Amino acid sequence: MAKRPVDAQVSFPRLEEQVLVRWRERDVFRESLRRREAAQPWSFWEGPPTANGRPGVHHVLSRAFKDIFPRFRTMRGYYVERRGGWDTHGLPVEIAVEKKLGIKTKAEIEEYGIEAFNAQCRESVFEFLEDWNALTERIGFWLDLENAYRTLDASYVESVWWSLKQIADKGLLYEGHRVVPYCPRCGTALSSHEVALGYEDVEDPSVYVRFRVAQDGGPLQAGDELLIWTTTPWTLVSNAAVAVDPELVYVRAKTGTLEAPVVLAEALTEKVLGDPEHVQILDRFPGAALDGVRYEPPFSYLAADEYGERGHTVLLGDFVSADDGTGIVHTAIAFGEDDFRLGQQYGLNVVNPVRVDGTYDERVGSYEGRFVKDADQDLIEDLRRRGRLLRAESYEHSYPHCWRCSTPLLYYAKPSWYIATSRIRDELLAANEQVSWHPEHIKHGRFGDWLENNVDWALSRERYWGTPLPVWRCEQGHVTVIGSLDELEQRSGVRLRDPHRPFVDDVTFACDACGQSATRVPEVIDVWFDSGAMPFAQRHEPFAGEHAVEQLYPADFICEALDQTRGWFYSLLAVSTLLRGPQAPYRHVVCLGLILDDKAQKMSKSRGNVIAPADVIDRFGADALRWYFFTSKQPWDGYLFSPDAVGEGVRLFLRQLWNTYRVCAMYEPGESGEQTDLDRWIRSRLSATTTIVTERLDAYDATVAGRAIAEFVDDLSNWYVRRSRPRFWDGDAVALETLRHSLVTVAQLLAPFTPFIADEIYDNLDGGQPSVHLTDWPEAPARDEALEQAMAIARETVRLGLAARAAAKIKVRQPLHEAVVVAAGRERDAIERLGEVVREELNVKGLRFVSQADELGSYTLKPNYRTLGPRFGKAMPQVAAAVAGLDADHVAEALRDGRPVGIFIDGHDHTLDSDDLQVAMAPLAGYQLEREGSHAVALELAVDDDLRREGLAREIVHAVQLARRDAGLDISDRIVLTLDGDDLLLDAARLHESYLSGEVLAVAVRYSANGSDRVASIEGRELRISVAPA
RNA sequence: GGGCGAUUAGCUCAGUCGGUUAGAGCGCUUCUCUGAUAAGGAAGAGGUCCCAGGUUCGAAUCCUGGAUCGCCCA
């Protein structure tokens, strides 16, 4: 079979483009699916990205990992459907459109028109679709993009509605208040992600305020003063209660400067009141004793009874800390999450005198219309005037601001729709138990913790571009949740083609309960719910009726970046658990880390350190980038990325592989050949590699798998090919088939990693299938582990011998008589078996074995702590001392003969065998010896005339080879060689003429002065060389 | 402020059950090889295994505390 010639100067990026063409022509991806149609499915879910921006290198990372395991599983015989998907809704999309339109607020959006605005959103989410599709194909991510699901499709929205109705039917959907971070200028709540973007260090007031106790209660008397601390004086207007920790110790104390006793946490007394000398502790009691104590509010704009029974009393809270403040926490129900929860617990009413624009309303008297934060100083002054202030300072801390307009955010109680996920917390945890996380610590760490602390899912968003919340409500407050477009049509008579706002907003129907007109609530739902519904919504189930929703679960494999623990990983789990109970929605999750630049800086446009995928792919190729991601490190800890690091992988691995492949394609196999130990060795190594790669990929560990392939290719290139060159020149059929088989198998193992180069190699060296990706994963035949070990020992012997040569400064080209190898038992057998390899590599005529080091060095002994430690424990130092006292030569001899060695410890005799002692050699002076453990190689350095001539013959070969190259000859061209010059050199050439001719492919060697194209100097002697094509 | 993870050679990373000489690749220096040639081989320099305690006969590894970096959350 004629192979395509292989270009040594290959451009991988260009090669990959050619492979892509071949894949398209042969329809390989679809064919790979067709061939497995009847096979057992192995399911992968694509976490949908949003195509409203260009894909970056981090997208290549996740897409590489999303590709490798499905490819592997396909070759293993599974049917792996890989459907693409696009996330199309949500605030990020809206914000991008706002920017484009140059508008910032909801008022401006409504002025622009929701229909027009949403049309812009719809368009923008596919703005970079072509870039995404092109990159996906270019990096070899096999994904069905033609049938990609899209969260904005009516069918998708309908499935989402169906699932929400299921949840509502279980009584888990409710409207409630929650304190949310809110930008008063933009008029919208912010998601936690947005809040995280906007923390700024600011100075806020830090005030200590005295609340007068209204009537005797517990250990307190009317007139005592509760000390509270706050950094938001504007919320004091809405003070509803105070909270104390029931377990914490509080004191009633008298200070010199104040008339009335004050109350605060004991631990904070000095911090708040100063020098203990001037403080008199009147009483100590736990916080629980203060439960129910009534006090006078700091401001009286709002009537006390507005808050309910427990308004302006001391409550018990679990969030009170004794770290700062006073240990008594001012509670304003509408403006803090802890406050709000406590208020709910005690049944306090939510009273909010602040308008949505952040100003006080008419209930706050003269402050009406003022932005709350601007009122801080006047409120403090007011308190001071009325003798209610203890101290006012300022306080620097980080506080969230709107990331778009820098307005300080307010925490603000607002009604929104929730899913009561906290009620299924135990089910979520149980489902999580069945998931295999990679890395493992996510399960009970980041993700498990998050589930443990589950709070209800805030589902609604007061926005425009999203799946509309399918909740209709009549004026009586009766709520109807709609579960399908049909149901809506039946009730309203309206068939929605587009279920988005504003069209859905216009649909009304008569309420079942009271007959009054029901209209949709204005909110859309959190985009994360969209993606969490993807397992069934991508197929429009249950409406399509092809699969029961239950059968669509679980996925065998999903893979996203680590930040998805709170995102898609959670939404998938939550939606699944809400619908189908405590069963894992996915079996294996691979979490990927962040990509930083090579200085550990985050890539960002403002830093200008963003590396575009194309920058790397155009230079090194997609295989190179994939290989880097797979093998440079385990993926979850993140990458310090630089193009040069990708280039290193190309040089070290892809080029090495390519050159090995080139050698294979260069020679035509002849008829004959015999299998050698070297062949058996590389086949055994191949089998071992196949086993480990299979095992590691089964365990979702691409890193160790890939590195194992790299090690094999290194063995193949630097040992098998190097040692087999003469056989290749002869067209040895067995050697060439062994190399071909090795490379074809490597191509298969590599196919999931670097699909392009793998396919190119397969196609040229085998081609039995239209693509390597249509082959079945290779089996691992039986290994010959003894041979693998023997080769390792032989290679170690070579290494030692070469080191000895280097130390003696004798070139490898100069043959030597003998290498003396110290080795016994298995080691000696191994070296003898592979003696020819060792002799050739070391260029020695013979090997002599000595089993004792007596003539080359002396032994030293060391205890093997690993075996002796557990046995002797504390006595180990004595054991070490006893071993040191043994006669090493005797012990070595005894152990060699299999006799145990006795030592005396703590009055008892113990015996040690060869496992318990490590015998090493110490070199004697005057020998050229290299040693490693008990193994050593010494060289006989004497060079006689014969060796000298042989060495010279090799030098002549070297010189002639250089002449051949200078003459521009191809490596297989035959020549007529003419030599002239120094007699000793000519003598050496004549003596070794057949060797010389064979090496330089000379059909004839002449000795005459005729040709002297080139003059070489060998050890100071002159040689004139002429080469002519034969 | 809390949770999770990381910290090993100049750089990028391995390091198994705790075992006494902590490894690889790159880079650097020197040498070598020449039918893969922008490759291959050998040698060398290069380490406070982040720090401090603790457990242990023995700690890069286990425990506690701290530092720094990153992510997530407040």
A165 is catalytic: no
Beta pairing partners, A210: A227
Backbone phi and psi for residue A586, each to the nearest 5 degrees, phi listed first: -145, 150
Q: Catalytic one among A13, A48, A219, A778?
A: A48
Across all strands, nucleotide nearest A641 (CA–C1'): B12
pLDDT of A469 strictly over 70: yes
Report which listed range, A200-204, A341-345, A651-655, is most confident.
Answer: A651-655
List the Cα angle A548/A554/A557 in 5-degree steps: 140
Mean pLDDT to the nearest integer, A368-381 = 89
Q: Which two tokens stand for residue A613?
A: 């995928």
Beta pairing partners, A509: A518
Query: Distance between CA atoms of A568 and A695, rounded to whole angstroms?
Result: 28
pLDDT of A36 strictly over 70: yes
List the Cα angle A677/A680/A686 in 5-degree steps: 140
Query: Distance between CA atoms of A408 and A185, rounded to whole angstroms?
Result: 9
Strand positions, DSSP E, A482-561: 508-510, 517-520, 524-525, 555-561
Q: Whole-number Å distance, CA A251 to C1' B65?
A: 31
State the pLDDT at residue A193: 55
pLDDT higher for A58 or A894? A58
A373 is catalytic: no
Beta pairing partners, A479: A473
pLDDT of A747 strictly over 90: yes
Mean pLDDT to the nearest integer, A703-724 = 90
Across all strands, nucleotide nearest A957 (CA–C1'): B34
A87 is catalytic: yes
Lowest-confidence region among A224-228, A875-879, A923-927: A923-927
Query: Distance between CA atoms of A816 and A810, rounded to whole angstroms?
Result: 9
A874 is catalytic: no
Q: Cis before residue A613, ω within 30 degrees of 0? A: no
pLDDT of A52 strictly over 90: no
Query: Distance between CA atoms of A295 and A313, rounded to whole angstroms?
Result: 6
A184 is catalytic: no
pLDDT of A926 strictly over 60: no
Report which listed range, A5-19, A902-916, A1014-1028, is most confident.
Answer: A5-19
pLDDT of A1024 strictly over 90: no
Query: Distance between CA atoms of A858 and A853, rounded to whole angstroms?
Result: 6
Spacing of C-alpha A893 from chain mean position:
53
Q: Catalytic one among A13, A23, A66, A87?
A: A87
State the pLDDT at residue A925: 38
Which residue minimizes Cα–C1' distance to B21?
Answer: A933
Q: Which nucleotides of B are covered by protein (CB under 7 A)?
A: 1, 3-6, 11-14, 19-21, 25-26, 31-43, 56-58, 69-74
Query: Distance between CA atoms of A141 and A753, rounded to whole angstroms?
Result: 11
State the pLDDT at residue A509: 94
Check if the beta carbon of residue A930 is closer than 8 Å to that of residue A800: yes
Spacing of C-alpha A889 from chain mean position:
53
> Tens digit of pLDDT for each residue in A813-845?
888 888 887 776 777 888 888 888 888 888 888
Question: Which amino acid type is present at position A795?
Answer: R
Complex ipTM over 0.85? yes
Residues 6+ apart with CB under 8 A from A900: A894, A911, A912, A913
Spacing of C-alpha A322 from chain mean position:
39
To the nearest whole percent, how much of chain A has pLDDT over 90? 39
pLDDT band at A930 (very low <50, low <70, confident <90, very high): low
Residues 6+ apart with CB under 8 A from A909: A902, A903
Q: Whole-number Å distance, CA A275 to C1' B66?
A: 30
Q: Whole-number Å distance, CA A222 to C1' B54?
A: 53
Q: Whole-number Å distance, CA A542 to C1' B71?
A: 38
Report which listed range, A167-181, A895-909, A961-975, is most confident.
Answer: A167-181
Which pairing describes strands A262-265 and A901-905: parallel, antiparallel, or unpaired? unpaired
State the pLDDT at residue A563: 79
> Tens digit of pLDDT for each residue in A866-907?
888 888 888 888 888 888 888 877 877 777 677 788 888 877
Across all strands, nucleotide nearest A807 (CA–C1'): B43
Mean pLDDT to the nearest integer, A404-413 = 78
State the pLDDT at residue A927: 42
Q: At what angle do helices A613-620 and A57-75 cross, to 10 degrees?
A: 60
Q: Which two tokens stand for residue A278?
A: 């001037």
Query: Distance between CA atoms of A630 and A623, rounded to whole angstroms?
Result: 10
Inter-CA distances, A734 with A6, A659, A668, A677, A835, Å: 21, 20, 12, 12, 21
State the pLDDT at residue A1: 54
Q: Catalytic one among A23, A417, A472, A568?
A: A568
Residues 6+ apart with CB under 8 A from A399: A199, A200, A201, A202, A204, A408, A409
Quote the radius of gyration of chain A (alpha carbons, Å): 40
In the sheet that holds A173-183, the strands lie side by side as A188-189, A173-183, A410-419, A457-458
In the sheet that holds A816-822, the strands lie side by side as A844-850, A816-822, A935-939, A929-932
pLDDT of A61 strictly over 90: yes
pLDDT higher for A775 or A730? A775
> Tens digit of pLDDT for each residue in A601-627?
777 666 677 788 998 999 899 999 999
State the pLDDT at residue A854: 56
Q: Whole-number Å distance, CA A430 to C1' B55?
A: 36
Mean pLDDT taken over chain A: 86
Backbone phi and psi for residue A431, each to the nearest 5 degrees, phi listed first: -65, -40
Nearest to A965 by CA among A1025, A886, A899: A1025
pLDDT of A191 strictly over 70: no
Query: Distance between CA atoms of A181 and A409, rounded to whole angstroms?
Result: 6
State the pLDDT at residue A276: 77
pLDDT higher for A931 or A718? A718
Q: Count other Cβ atoms within 10 Å, centred on residue A906.
A: 10
> Tens digit of pLDDT for each residue in A580-609?
999 999 999 999 988 887 777 777 666 677
Residues A832-836: contacts with CB under 8 Å, at least 24 apart: A833/A677, A833/A790, A833/A794, A834/A677, A834/A790, A834/A791, A834/A794
pLDDT higher for A741 or A915? A741
Spacing of C-alpha A997 from chain mean position:
57
> Tens digit of pLDDT for each residue in A320-340?
766 677 888 888 888 887 788
Which pairing describes strands A857-863 and A917-923: parallel, antiparallel, or unpaired? antiparallel
Across all strands, nucleotide nearest A567 (CA–C1'): B72
> Tens digit of pLDDT for each residue in A507-565?
999 999 898 999 999 999 988 999 999 999 999 999 999 999 999 999 999 999 887 88
Spacing of C-alpha A681 from chain mean position:
36
State the pLDDT at residue A401: 80
Query: Distance between CA atoms of A646 and A625, rounded to whole angstroms?
Result: 6
pLDDT higher for A270 or A42? A42
pLDDT of A924 strictly over 50: no
Check if the beta carbon of residue A462 is closer than 8 Å to that of residue A183: no
A809 is catalytic: no
Query: Distance between CA atoms of A539 and A483, rounded to whole angstroms?
Result: 16
Q: Count other Cβ atoms within 10 Å, centred on residue A95.
A: 15
Lowest-confidence region among A69-73, A149-153, A789-793: A789-793
A106 is catalytic: no
pLDDT of A760 strictly over 90: yes
